[in-house]
Amino acid sequence: MNLRSPGPTPCPPDVLQAMGRQMIHHRSPAFAEIIGRVTDSLKQLFETKSDLFCLSCSGTGAMESMVVNTLSPGDRVLVVSIGVFGDRFATIAKTYGADVTKIDFDWGTAADPDAVAQALQKDGSYKAVCVTHNETSTGVTNDLEAIAAAVRRVQPTALLLVDAISSLGSIRCPVDAWDLDVVATGSQKGWMVPPGLAMVSVSERAWKAYEQSKMPRFYFDYGKAKEFLAKGQTPWTPAISLFYALDVALRQLVAEGIDGIVERHQRIADLTRTGVKSLGLELLADERCVSNTVTAVNVPEPIEWAKLYKLLQDEYDTLIEGGQGPLAGKIFRIGHLGWVTEKDIQVTIAALRGALPRLGYALPETAMA
Amino acid sequence: MNLRSPGPTPCPPDVLQAMGRQMIHHRSPAFAEIIGRVTDSLKQLFETKSDLFCLSCSGTGAMESMVVNTLSPGDRVLVVSIGVFGDRFATIAKTYGADVTKIDFDWGTAADPDAVAQALQKDGSYKAVCVTHNETSTGVTNDLEAIAAAVRRVQPTALLLVDAISSLGSIRCPVDAWDLDVVATGSQKGWMVPPGLAMVSVSERAWKAYEQSKMPRFYFDYGKAKEFLAKGQTPWTPAISLFYALDVALRQLVAEGIDGIVERHQRIADLTRTGVKSLGLELLADERCVSNTVTAVNVPEPIEWAKLYKLLQDEYDTLIEGGQGPLAGKIFRIGHLGWVTEKDIQVTIAALRGALPRLGYALPETAMA
């Protein structure tokens, strides 16, 4: 199966092989060695010297962890939303009693850093700004560097909580250089590992907020994670197999280096966009902010998405993902992060070129070859 | 490595092989088939017709989920504790604002159902009773049937929240027959699967409590889990590989049947206890309530636990686990749940027979052979 979802992504053979390793005990020296190495490598790729933890949960669990470890009920929070995952950030913060103001930008566009600054200027009492680096639902990458700089300019002490789930490990996100406070990603994205682990970095500023935070937390408690990581452990039994896999994947990623990883994702994203447009299709996202990990494409007339989804799987061995929420049926999304090559994209474009006309779509003449 | 911890436990080769399968998409028909089959099989072994969900987290996450989905801040909760995990249940409930009364029994003994009934009689306003079925920290199995009956007799509407993490799938725990409300277990215990998934069943009574519950929850929300399971999905990206593995393991467990599983654990536990006693060692637990999944053994004079732990790993390729909390250094624990055979136990006893005298322990004459 040519799995071209923006997560889970296919995993390299040696990563899958590591998944099949027999169990070791999670409080043994053997596990301490692995978690130590994994944590160090992740810090390199997060470009941070801060604490960093691996939590056994999905990315959504990591988003919840950011909220409950730094905030108290009633805290004012500005959530910058450009899609489903920005909205989810707001919902989580509200669920735990934060006083949430959401600033929305049209789906398919990026957040305007000046608008974020203005929102902060209107009211200086925000405790935190929550922002999505790469919005998986729309295929848009925010200019996080500019947003972070705008926040720091207007309200230097505000916490920056960043959903970098589908960017980190694929799109540059230098945590310390951009002065981000809590930054989360998930194993099934650029990291080339099956889902089940989330990784979060926690700045000094975030630790101060943790000390004051009154939201209830237990499973996701960063203080416990820190206490146990000092012993080479996790507070609760971790998803050991995923640590094996991440250990293998990180060796490859660290060897490739951040510049190499970022350049590869750029190159393959360019190829995807060129391929999609060669079929006469339109991107959902504004060209100035298109994502290098996922491309969202408008479903063209007269295609019914459900039929295309099924046909691609049944006869082209290719899975692409549909739209979420209000975009369901209106867009499809091609994932191109993690273990992805030019050939995977060529196969995907060829599958679309084959399937679309069978459902009544007229290919442009230039795509006929 | 002869891993004889009470979790993670070793996994059979075909289960490990399944862990190495390539990713599929978690919102595809292929995943719906797996989660459907896994859920049905789990219901058979939980002996329940209630809803049942797999959460991507450890057992502790599942404990938290039981609390936050059924209770509100201020609710009175009776926690029956016989060790570390009973205490943890109380801590989680307190963390989320429940009004917790803890009834403690000596570590190494089981809870007295009459004492539980009396505690409830003194105050009829308890919303829930939290109880550990099998206490992994002391090697004790509570008489859950009698405790549940006592609760129902005194306070028929109280919720029974059960940590069956190290019992279900090994020790009989018929959820519907005993009228238990929320019951949780973890993949790395009797289920022969690596850690990272927890499974919970949710009764009709628990759903009514859910509707009233005001504790904040998002990642662990049962309502979301139910809504998505109806579509053959999970609300958030699940640990797909662990579903593959659980699917394989459950085929074996369902084929063996509950009676077979329970009998096997009884037989191997008996062998463990006989073996340990043949070395002149004493069990921590009262013989009337010893666990069939984990045996806790008092560290004998003049043995230093840290040295025994290291020697067994370094020279006997065997890992057993130490005590937790106040029992650290005072006991060790042999796990015998999941994929375990008579031979594994014989090897473990032989390792102890070899290692203990090297650290100064005098074996009884009968153990010399």
3-state secondary structure of A218: coil
Please answer yes or no on whether B56 and A59 come within 8 Å at the CB atom. no
Angle at B28 (CA atoms; ends B24, B30), nearest 5 degrees: 65
Interface of B with A in 260-319 (CB under 8 A): 313, 319
CB proximity A32 to B under 8 Å: no
CB proximity A324 to B under 8 Å: no
Calculate the alpha carbon distances from A2 to A76, A297, B7, B38, B221 in Å: 44, 18, 36, 25, 32
Task: Please tell me the distance from the alpha carbon of residue A176 to that of residue B128, in angstroms, as a whole number.
Answer: 46
Interface of B with A in 80-99 (CB under 8 A): 91-92, 95-97
Are B260 and B47 in contact by the 8 Å Cβ rule? The answer is no
Asked whether the whole model's pTM tops 0.80, one would answer yes
Half-sphere exposure for B112 (CA within 13 Å, toward CB): 8
Ranges of each domain in chain B: 13-248, 257-367
Task: Please tell me the distance from the alpha carbon of residue B133 to that of residue B45, in angstroms, as a whole number.
Answer: 16
Count of C-beta atoms within a 10 Å radius of residue A141 = 25
CB proximity A241 to B under 8 Å: yes
CB proximity B215 to A under 8 Å: yes
Under the banding of pLDDT at 50, 70 and 90, the label for residue A123 is confident
Task: Please tell me the distance from the alpha carbon of residue A177 to that of residue B270, in angstroms, as a whole number.
Answer: 60
- pLDDT of A317 over the 90 cut: yes
Is B257-367 a domain of CATH 3.40.50.740?
Answer: no
Most A CBs within 10 A among B66, B218, B244, B317, hence the mutation to make, goes to: B218
Are B19 and A20 in contact by the 8 Å Cβ rule? The answer is yes
Comparing CA positions, the residue from A269, A300, A272, A297 lying closest to residue A283 is A297
Please answer yes or no on whether B56 and A60 come within 8 Å at the CB atom. no
The torsion of the CA quartet B168, B171, B172, B176, rounded to 10 degrees, works out to -20
Please answer yes or no on whether A95 and B216 come within 8 Å at the CB atom. yes
Please answer yes or no on whether B219 and A58 come within 8 Å at the CB atom. yes
Contacts of A239 in chain B (CB under 8 A): 58, 194-196, 239, 242
CB proximity B216 to A under 8 Å: yes
| pLDDT of A368 | 59
β-bridge partners, B290: B140
Identity of the residue in A5, A186, A216 whose CB atom sits nearest the CB atom of B97: A216
Comparing CA positions, the residue from A125, A85, A84, A83 lying closest to residue A101 is A125
Question: CA of B56 to nearest chain A CA: how many angstroms apart?
Answer: 6
CATH topology of domain A258-364: Aspartate Aminotransferase, domain 1 (3.90.1150)
Task: Please tell me the distance from the alpha carbon of residue B83 to that of residue B92, in angstroms, as a whole number.
Answer: 15
Under the banding of pLDDT at 50, 70 and 90, the label for residue A250 is very high
Count of C-beta atoms within a 10 Å radius of residue A342 = 13
| pLDDT of B365 | 87
Task: Please tell me the distance from the alpha carbon of residue B363 to that of residue B359, in angstroms, as a whole number.
Answer: 11
Identity of the residue in A59, A97, A239 whose CB atom sits nearest the CB atom of B195: A239
Question: CA of A121 to nearest chain B CA: how many angstroms apart?
Answer: 30
The torsion of the CA quartet B166, B169, B173, B175, rounded to 10 degrees, works out to 110
Ranges under pLDDT 50 in chain B: none
Please answer yes or no on whether A218 and B91 come within 8 Å at the CB atom. yes
- pLDDT of A369 over the 70 cut: no
Question: CA of A40 to nearest chain B CA: how many angstroms apart?
Answer: 22
Comparing CA positions, the residue from A11, A79, A201, A99 lying closest to residue B241 is A11
Question: CA of A56 to nearest chain B CA: how many angstroms apart?
Answer: 6
Under the banding of pLDDT at 50, 70 and 90, the label for residue A365 is confident
β-bridge partners, A104: A81
Which of 3.40.50.2300, 3.40.1440.10, 3.40.640.10, 3.30.479.10 is the CATH number of A13-248? 3.40.640.10
- pLDDT of A46 over the 90 cut: yes
| pLDDT of B369 | 55
Please answer yes or no on whether A3 and B11 come within 8 Å at the CB atom. no
- pLDDT of A176 over the 60 cut: yes
| pLDDT of A190 | 97
Contacts of B28 in chain A (CB under 8 A): 313, 319
Contacts of A9 in chain B (CB under 8 A): 23
Residue B320 DSSP one-character state: E
Comparing CA positions, the residue from B333, B290, B316 lying closest to residue B6 is B333
Question: CA of B58 to nearest chain A CA: how many angstroms apart?
Answer: 6
The torsion of the CA quartet B163, B165, B166, B167, rounded to 10 degrees, works out to 70
Most B CBs within 10 A among A5, A19, A310, hence the mutation to make, goes to: A19
Task: Please tell me the distance from the alpha carbon of residue B253 to that of residue B257, in angstroms, as a whole number.
Answer: 6
pLDDT tens for residues A190-247?
999 999 999 999 999 999 999 999 999 999 999 999 999 999 999 999 999 999 999 9
| pLDDT of B123 | 82
CB proximity A335 to B under 8 Å: no
